[in-house]
Structure 1
Amino acid sequence: MPERLVDRNPVVPADQLIAQMVPPAMFDDVSFASYIPDPNEPTQADAVRIAEEFAGKVGKIRSGGKRGLFGKKSQPVGAGLYLDGGFGVGKTHLLASIYHASPEPKAFGTFVELTHVVGALGFNKALEGFSGYSVLCIDEFELDDPGDTMLVSRLLTELSQVGVSVVATSNTLPGQLGEGRFAAQDFLREIKKLGSIFESVRVDGPDYRHRDLPPAPDPISAEDLGAAAAKIEGATLDDFDELCKHLSTLHPSRYGKLIDGVPAVFLENVHAAPDQSVALRLVVLADRLYDAGTPVTVSGAKLDEIFTDEMLNGGYRKKYLRATSRLLALSRFASV
């Protein structure tokens, strides 16, 4: 009998919230050398070079500041890099490569994870926890929530003043105004106090997750879903509505722990999310599943039908399209 995610109630101790901020397992072995630039997209080769140079700056900054008149070192200011581009162009690969090439201690997480950590710990404890780090790597920096953006902007401002370098990626949509330049300008405006330390680098290209791939597999019957789940030891089988209800009882910082060790996830009776709150929780779950490389198989509606047209045309469009891209990749993985 398959297990159920709804029967899991993971707890993440406060002192582990920052310690667990490391790249997803799929990025454990990436490096600048393993990033293969698309020859048709020169911005990719440039981005690799600049990212590698940035990692070198991080090490120099952490080694100390300039010496003054009496031999006392001044406090170095952290460096900043912003990788601006669409989905699936390798920004996270470069971000993880910077993380691996930087000295300890260091942290890596999505913008959403960072806001969850600050919310769970409180601003002052989060500031204290990160202040000794060489670099803070933030994946998918989001500008759709002014409150979160300004909270993180304040955190990064104070961290940079104590020598913590910051590198962030965007979740710019392909085809957005100015081919993504609008997002870079928004980013620098919203973090205006930090704008002077950030170098913005464009990374162009198609979404590698969908290059030369067939359409997402169709959902299977409920009977076949249960049989497939039963064949995989440790796999989970949940009713979609029950899982959505369970997610509402957990802080999003616990979603990663929720799926820890699960080799495959099976969801029955999938349908469009009924409202934004449910949809946004599913976005976080999709990110954690993608980080873990966990295959997803469903019955009911297709995974690209979870977010309604109204949602996709609203303020959280970037989140929903990213989640859909990742869920489709995981569904193809499951069908291999």
Structure 2
Amino acid sequence: MRCSVTRRLPWGTVSSSTAASRPGSAADAAPLSLCAREPHVPAHRLVAEMVPPPRFDSVRFATYLPDPGRPSQTEAVRVLEDFAAGLGGPAATGGAKRGFLGLGRSRAAKTPAGPRGVYLDGGYGVGKTHLLASLWHATPAEPALKAFGTFVELTNLVGALGFQETVRTLGGHRLLCIDEFELDDPGDTVLVSTLLGRLVDAGVALAATSNTLPGKLGEGRFASADFLREIQGLSARFRTLRIDGEDYRHRGLPEAPAPYSDEQVTRTAYATEGASLDDFPQLLDHLAKVHPSRYGALTDGVRAVCLTGVRAVPDQSTALRLVVLADRLYDREVPVLASGAPFDELFSEEMLNGGYRKKYFRAISRLTALARDAQPLVSV
């Protein structure tokens, strides 16, 4: 069942198919509704879109500003620059491919032992995705020979193409970057362990970001001890770079804006071209009907997300879906304007102290940044 997109406004009731008639409105039509969208993403689009998202399209190592008090940030840049330079050997189609950092035997020979990639570990807001995207940009290979995607997008690619076709599609790449690497269930553990093993054997270099050390993946979420061999196998494929620091998104910035009224949010949605307007509880229900890998497509063409009635999420499954939506909105630089509860009240204390706590804190950080971005949209 789709969410209702009929609005009872101070100037009357308007549906999504009816033009807004408020005098002085900057928009001729009613806002979009995320709840009315059921995106379907073809497999070829999944592959074509495995590049850094818009927010990170122009980032480079030179634009990353290490905190002078955090030497690990400067060290991470140095190691990743060397890593990118080491991937500058002959293309996969033009000669034998070298091993990790361009050293070792060719891909036609036996795969060398030891790590085949780098793993950026650290808290939210220390610039891990910035560094990962910079690595993608700095790697001297054609875009078609390097891939960038989130963990959930990678697992969805396997679902869309099948395991063997995914190996064939990515096996000729120079580099695979995986953002937000997490293992939330045993099936993903076995799938990803097997997939990355096949890609490493094919000569693909790996780079990943996460808020969890590779040896701790899955901890606190499922019986990870039962899958210890797979988890240890994943850990052995990476050299871990620990990046310390504070959340740069809020360093030295003013307090997050307080939630607006329902009327302010609704008026702003009608006055902003390309804005969406949805009731928050209804949107949460709708997210349950859309695969998380499609949340990016859910926001196609949306220039601002307006939400009324924000409140604490009712359960962990809903919370995790909201985290993915927050990530996709942040990647695409979509401002978020909301009424109701502030974003730091979205998740219960139990959630914030559980196995997914780092995901929840990341979502709060990113949504708060997007709320600041939305402030100029509000009419005084």
Q: Structure 1 CA distance, aligned partners of 2:343 and 2:303?
A: 19
Shift in Å at residue 275 of structure 1? 1.5
3-state DSSP class of the match of 1:18? helix
Matching residue of 2:181? 141
Is the 2:55–2:330 Cα contact (8 Å) retained in structure 1?
no
Q: Structure 1 CA distance, aligned partners of 2:270 and 2:284?
A: 22
Shift in Å at residue 236 of structure 1? 0.5
Deviations 1:207-229 (A, max 9, x none): 10110122221111111111111
3-state DSSP class of the match of 2:373? helix
The letter for the 1-side match of 2:135 is I
Matching residue of 1:271? 311
Judged with a 3 Å threshold, the aligned counterparts in structure 2 of structure 1 residues 158 and 238 are, in CA distance, closer, same or farther, namely same
Matches within 5 A, 1:249-264: 249-264=289-304
RMSD: 2.2
Matches within 5 A, 1:1-336: 1-60=30-89, 62=91, 64-65=96-97, 73-74=108-109, 79-102=116-139, 103-104=141-142, 105-172=145-212, 183-186=213-216, 191-336=231-376
Is the 1:64–1:76 Cα contact (8 Å) retained in structure 2?
no
The letter for the 1-side match of 2:125 is G
Gaps of 5+ in 2: 1-29, 99-105, 218-227
3-state DSSP class of the match of 2:233? coil
Matching residue of 2:4? none
Deviations 1:259-279 (A, max 9, x none): 012110000011111122221
Larger radius of gyration: 2
Is the 2:96–2:107 Cα contact (8 Å) retained in structure 1?
no
Deviations 1:240-262 (A, max 9, x none): 12211221221112110110121
Q: Structure 2 CA distance, aligned partners of 1:195 and 1:4?
A: 42
Quote the sequence identity (%).
Answer: 58
The letter for the 2-side match of 1:83 is L
Is the 2:259–2:341 Cα contact (8 Å) retained in structure 1?
yes
The letter for the 1-side match of 2:368 is L
Is the 1:271–1:301 Cα contact (8 Å) retained in structure 2?
yes
The letter for the 2-side match of 1:165 is A
Deviations 1:89-108 (A, max 9, x none): 11111100111122131111
3-state DSSP class of the match of 2:232? coil
Q: Structure 2 CA distance, aligned partners of 1:210 and 1:94?
A: 18
Shift in Å at residue 157 of structure 1? 0.8
The letter for the 2-side match of 1:258 is L
Q: Structure 2 CA distance, aligned partners of 1:7 and 1:146?
A: 33
The letter for the 2-side match of 1:25 is P
Matching residue of 1:178? none
Is the 1:95–1:137 Cα contact (8 Å) retained in structure 2?
yes
| Higher mean C-alpha deviation, range 210-219 or range 78-87 | 78-87
The letter for the 1-side match of 2:251 is R
Q: Structure 1 CA distance, aligned partners of 2:97 and 2:157?
A: 29
Q: Structure 2 CA distance, aligned partners of 1:100 and 1:299?
A: 38
Q: Structure 1 CA distance, aligned partners of 2:261 and 2:146?
A: 45
Judged with a 3 Å threshold, the aligned counterparts in structure 2 of structure 1 residues 189 and 331 are, in CA distance, closer, same or farther, namely farther
The letter for the 1-side match of 2:80 is A
Q: Structure 2 CA distance, aligned partners of 1:124 and 1:184?
A: 25
Q: Structure 2 CA distance, aligned partners of 1:276 and 1:282?
A: 10
The letter for the 1-side match of 2:83 is F
Q: Structure 2 CA distance, aligned partners of 1:155 and 1:17?
A: 17
Q: TM-score, normalised by structure 1?
A: 0.89
Is the 2:260–2:339 Cα contact (8 Å) retained in structure 1?
yes
Matching residue of 1:175? none
Is the 2:308–2:339 Cα contact (8 Å) retained in structure 1?
yes
| Higher mean C-alpha deviation, range 159-168 or range 97-106 | 97-106
Q: TM-score, normalised by structure 2?
A: 0.79
The letter for the 2-side match of 1:254 is R
Is the 1:307–1:320 Cα contact (8 Å) retained in structure 2?
yes
Is the 1:75–1:163 Cα contact (8 Å) retained in structure 2?
no
3-state DSSP class of the match of 2:180? strand
Shift in Å at residue 314 of structure 1? 2.1
Q: Structure 1 CA distance, aligned partners of 2:108 and 2:39?
A: 45
